[in-house]
Amino acid sequence: MKLGRFRKDQNVFTGIVEGDKVGSVGEIPIEKIIASNLTDNIKCLISSWFSLQELEYAPLINPGKIICLGLNYKSHAEEGGWHLPAEPVYFEKSSSCIIPNRAKIYIPDHIGRIDPEVELAVMIGKICKNVSKQEAIACIAGYTILNDVTARAMQKEDQAKKYPWFRSKSMDTFCPIGPWIVTTDEIDWQEPLKIELRINGEAKQSSSTDKMIFQIPDIICSIARYLTLYPGDIISTGTPEGISPVKDGDIVECEIEKIGILSNPVVSYGKHC
């Protein structure tokens, strides 16, 4: 099942996506559907159908935490000259920087290079703490695409000063997520998925999720050893090689097999705000 959030005539609703049609189940947030284990029966709440083309996308979720992995593809670590991690390395992005499919990524002037990064994201479906690998798998509600937009020049400056990277990862609009959540009945965590990022139609990152150093159950176990995960929390599993900068006027497309395409235009503050 594909669950999304949409806007029609200023009204925001949760919808079940089937092909090019969307069935509205009302205002109930996706997090509540997941936490209440309503996915098996949610179709009975459909009150009306719309064409996908007539709808705008709304922010998909409002997670308590967005936890991202760094250096989870060997090829990405090698291109940056970083050592391979012995255990998952993770950091947090602010949930306030989430934007939906087709929304604009705003880049401030004069902060240097900005890189988008395509990543497979996991949505947590139940409270998760000190779990086994098998228990971790049962905590997955679904999958989506996350674009970990990064102020690369700022990140490198902060790293050189031994400062946290938080601000370079969490500026407004620096976390496109979408276009929808795909539940686990459609995607198995062991299944290799093609993952690609394009800028203006040109492929920059192209890989497969089976190239990750740490696989999804190991990632969840590692995080849940120290942090309690709650329904709606997002874990983004890292990006492959090929990171490339974007500029005003570019179109970024992040595509993952079986999920879809997350597309966002890039706009400079100075020119358009």
Q: What is the DSSP string of the chain?
A: -EEEEEEETTEEEEEEEETTEEEE--S--HHHHHHTT-TTTGGGG--EEEEGGG-EE------S-EEEEES-BHHHHHHHTPPPPSS-EEEEE-GGGEE-TT--EEE-TTS--EE--EEEEEEE-S-BSS--HHHHHHTEEEEEEEE--EEHHHHHHHHHTT--SHHHH-STT-EEEEEEEEETTT--TTS--EEEEEETTEEEEEEEGGGBSS-HHHHHHHHHTTS-B-TT-EEE----S------TT-EEEEEETTTEEEEEEEEEHHHH-
Nearest-angstrom CA–CA distance, 20 and 190: 28
pTM: 0.95
Joined tokens for residue 101: 């499919």
Per-residue model confidence (pLDDT) at position 110: 86
CB 143 within 8 A of CB 180: no
pLDDT given for residue 273 in this prediction = 46
Q: What is residue 74's predicted lDDT score, i.e. its pLDDT?
A: 84
Using CA atoms, how far apart are residues 254 and 194, in angstroms rounded to an integer? 11
d(CA 124, CA 67): 11
Q: Which CATH architecture has domain 66-272?
A: Alpha-Beta Complex (3.90)
The encoded tokens of residue 140 equal 């997955």
Residue range(s) in the chain whose domain bears CATH number 3.90.850.10: 66-272
Residue 248 tokens read as 């005003």
Tokens of 144: 């989506």
pLDDT for position 210: 94
Question: pLDDT per position in the chain (273 positions), as tens?
Answer: 999 999 999 899 999 999 999 999 999 999 988 887 777 788 888 999 999 999 999 999 999 999 999 889 988 777 777 778 899 999 999 999 999 999 999 999 889 999 999 999 999 999 999 999 999 999 999 999 999 999 999 988 988 898 888 999 999 999 999 999 999 999 999 999 999 999 999 999 999 999 999 999 999 999 999 999 999 999 999 999 999 999 999 999 999 999 999 999 999 986 544
Residue 170 in contact with residue 97, Cβ under 8 Å? yes
Chain centre to alpha carbon of residue 42 = 23
Q: Is the dihedral of CA 94, 97, 203, 208 positive or negative?
A: positive
Q: What pLDDT was estimated at residue 271?
A: 55
